[in-house]
Amino acid sequence: MTSTLQTPSTQDQRTYQVNTFGCQMNVHDSERISGLLADAGLAAVAPEAGEGEADVVVFNTCAVRENADNKLYGHLGLLKQEKERRPGLQIAVGGCLAQKDRDTILKRAPWVDVVFGTHNIGSLPVLLERARHNNEAQLEILESLDVFPSTLPTKRESHASGWVSISVGCNNTCTFCIVPSLRGKEKDRRPGDILAEIQALVDDGAIEVTLLGQNVNSYGVEFGDREAFSKLLRACGEIDGLERVRFTSPHPAMFTDDVIEAMAETHNVMPQLHMPLQSGSDKVLKEMRRSYRSKKFLGILDRVRERMPHAAISTDLIVGFPGETEEDFQDTLRVVEESRFSTAFTFQYSARPGTPAASYEDQIPKAVVQERFERLTALQDRIAKEENAKQLGRTVEVLVADSAGRKSGSTGRLSGRTRDQRLLHFSVPAGAAQPRPGDAVTVPVTEVGAFHLVSDPSPEQYSVRATRAGDAWDRAQADSCGVPAPGAAQGTRGVSLGMPTLRAGV
């Protein structure tokens, strides 16, 4: 799509800021939104800039949980005064909540300029220009995808890692989930297009990709190949320079042994799996229309660990689904104890209008849900720390992140992810080479917590490997008048490209 968004001369260049709520699919969509705005001539504001400092502020929203509404309207309320002070400010709302609420957003926040949905991200620059020209808000929501998002321009934040959508939409009918009505039926990309995008990322410096799909392992259903996903994983293993391959999120009902074999036998597919459980109660799973039961789920984990003994497995859990009894909840605690998850993303059930479960009569009182939530998180925190303790003394390779941890100022440590996606904070021994974002360091685990690992290595325990991703980071610094990291090892040169910061289970 060719944008008609007008921009002033360079010294008066308009700026943009994209705020993302929700899952990895939303993060990936925000890359496209940023790419579209940059392609239209706008410049990104500094990461530390507050909301309202940009000329165009975009909210890419989530609708999965009830607090998504409150979060959005809270931000919009804060921008109302800024909009009155600075009429040239444009505010756009997109994503799942926009697809669901449509004109409700403009009724509740009439100072918003553009509302667009999940199926027409590419229309944003045109809608912004139309709103500016006509001096009135623009609402455009499509019922089906107009252009596959991966064909749109992209602006990534990390040079080492990239998201690659292999499908959009979902064919399942989980009673708690509003996603199928907002993202539509599953639509698969052709393998050749996916591999070409991955190759382009690698050519530009990426060494890690995460394959994305609402149910990523059902890939191939549209063109009738039940083993398409495992074939795609194996094909990723043939891409020279691609060091790490991940995927999210698979569905247990469709998780087949050919995928496990492909994971175990493909050298760059990481020993890490995010497998949503949702509930350990077979009765609740049936009410959720999750077409598997706890025995099948645990069997999948057993087979994964048989082929990959050190695999780290994470999950999603919902507490307080309508009709959940204490006995049902105890089943969840039992399955969580048996599963030994490295981490779990645990949510309190919230009724979403338009989903079957929202109309169920046996909604659980908030106080009961909260109490069960606290018991479940306490159990999982204990398990996570016990599982992390097994890493103590192991030597691990860490892909250095673009940003340091929250306590890096006081600890002096850098951060990164291990091959099994655990977060590790590490110090660089005095006199040792300083790694660049995207480089790989090898260090021993010297301390563990429930949510992270720590390494304070001696000089002989520490090594750094310069990577093409680190080279790309250097080039980006030079392009922005920055300087390479002091002491960074130098490698080969190539073409620079920005990529997203890869995070576990967002």
**pLDDT, tens digit, 9 for 90 and up, residues 219-229:** 998 889 999 99
Model pLDDT, residue 65: 65
pLDDT, position 470: 95
Q: Are 171 and 221 in contact (CB under 8 A)?
A: yes
Q: At the topology level of CATH, where does 304-390 sit?
A: Transcription Regulator spoIIAA (3.30.750)
Kindly give the residue spans of alpha helices, DSSP state H, lying in 341-396.
366-389
Distance CA 329, CA 350 (A): 17
- Please tell me the distance from the alpha carbon of residue 399 to that of residue 488, in angstroms, as a whole number: 14
**Amino acid 134: pLDDT:** 83
Q: Give me the residue spans of the domains in the chain.
A: 10-140, 304-390, 395-465
CATH of 10-140, one of 3.40.50.12160, 3.40.50.2000, 1.10.287.180, 3.40.50.2300: 3.40.50.12160
Residue 393: DSSP 8-state: T
Binding site as annotated, residues: 23, 62, 96, 170, 174, 177
Query: Taking residues 242-267, what's their average pLDDT?
Result: 96
Cβ proximity of 260 and 299 under 8 Å: no
Three-class DSSP category at 309? coil
Query: Is pLDDT of 485 > 90?
Result: no
pLDDT exceeds cutoff 90 at 12: no
Question: Does residue 66 register a pLDDT over 70?
Answer: no
User: Which residue ranges make up the annotated binding site for [4Fe-4S] cluster?
Assistant: 23, 62, 96, 170, 174, 177
Question: Dmax of the chain from CA atoms?
Answer: 66
Lowest mean pLDDT among 175-189, 271-285, 307-321, 379-393: 175-189
Q: Which of 103, 174, 213 is nearest to 354 (CA)?
A: 174
Spell out the residues 6+ positions from residue 72 whose beta carbon is closer than 8 angstroms to its own: 21, 59, 61, 93, 97
**Cα–Cα nearest to 121, from 88, 83, 154:** 154
127/92 Cα distance (integer angstroms): 9
Reply yes or no on whether the pLDDT at 249 is more than 80.
yes
Instruction: Report which of residues 298 and 100 the model is more confident about.
Output: 298
DSSP 8-state symbol, 433? P
Query: Residue 121's pLDDT is what?
Result: 84
Query: Of the CATH numbers 3.20.20.140, 3.40.50.920, 2.60.120.10, 2.40.50.730, which one belongs to the domain with range 395-465?
Result: 2.40.50.730
Structure token digits, residue 308: 């990959």
Whether the per-residue pLDDT at 94 is higher than 60: the answer is yes
The pLDDT confidence band at residue 506, using thresholds 50, 70 and 90, is very low
Amino acid 411: pLDDT:
75
| Percentage of the chain lying above the pLDDT 90 cut | 57
Residue 24: is its pLDDT beyond 90? Answer: no
pTM of the predicted model as reported, rounded to 2 decimal places: 0.76
Domains 10-140 and 304-390 share a fold: no
Rounded to the nearest integer, the mean pLDDT of the chain is 86
Distance of CA 215 to the CA centre of its chain: 14
